[in-house]
Amino acid sequence: MRALGPGSVSSFLKIILDVVYVALWIGVGAVGALMLLALLFSFNPDLLADLVVTAGGEEVKNRGPVMTLGLLAATVYMGGVLVIVAQLRKIFATLTAGDPFHPENVRRLRVVGLILAGLELGRYAFWVLSRSILPDANAVEPSLSLTAWFSVLVVFVLAEVFREGARLRREAELTI
């Protein structure tokens, strides 16, 4: 089976990315709507009287802001994943077209690397913020994820490989 071009593995992966892209948009919309509902419910806490939220073994009295913060974090995270999938869709579109060293793929891979790094830094920031809001919560300490940072480095190295490939292709096009 071919790796590039129509009917190849890359075209199959592009279809999968298209499905994931649509599912992520639906998920971002649903979580965003839930976030707005939680924020609205925080103005009338009696609407959430049956919902029990605990932190550190004790019930949290003001549930709306806590739920809104968690849903906001989920929305931001899903938004980051949505940007990554959107960039990958564009990269795989060039692979399906048989043009792997398209100059825009370098920028797209750099965006993916930056978003991956941002999501990992956001995870640490969310932990610090949640600890300040719910200091008694028994939250798990965030550990340094070597896998995540290794992935960021791999994506940046791949961006440079694609940059060099695009440069070589330009030089080959100028050769008579």
pLDDT in tens, 78-116: 999 999 999 999 999 998 888 888 889 999 999 999 999
Token pair 């990992």 in the structure block, residue: 120
Alpha helices in the chain, H assignment, sequence order: 9-43, 63-96, 104-133, 146-174
Structure tokens at 151: 């992935």
**Pairwise pLDDT comparison (149 vs 64), residue with the higher score:** 149
**What are the pLDDT digits (tens) for 117-138?**
999 999 888 888 877 777 666 6
φ/ψ of 4, rounded to 5, equals -120, 160
Report d(CA 102, CA 165) in Å as an integer.
9
Do 104 and 39 touch, CB atoms closer than 8 A? Answer: no
CA distances from 67 to 77, 81, 135 (A): 15, 21, 16
Q: Could you tell me the pTM of the whole model?
A: 0.79
Question: Long-range contacts of range 130-134, CB-CB < 8 Å, 24 or more positions apart?
Answer: 130/69, 133/65, 133/66, 133/69, 134/55, 134/56, 134/60, 134/66
Q: What Å distances lie between residue 172 and 114, 126, 166, CA to CA? A: 31, 48, 10
What value does the mean pLDDT take over residues 146-153? 93
Separation in Å, CA 130 to CA 33, 38, 95, 97, 123: 21, 17, 42, 45, 11
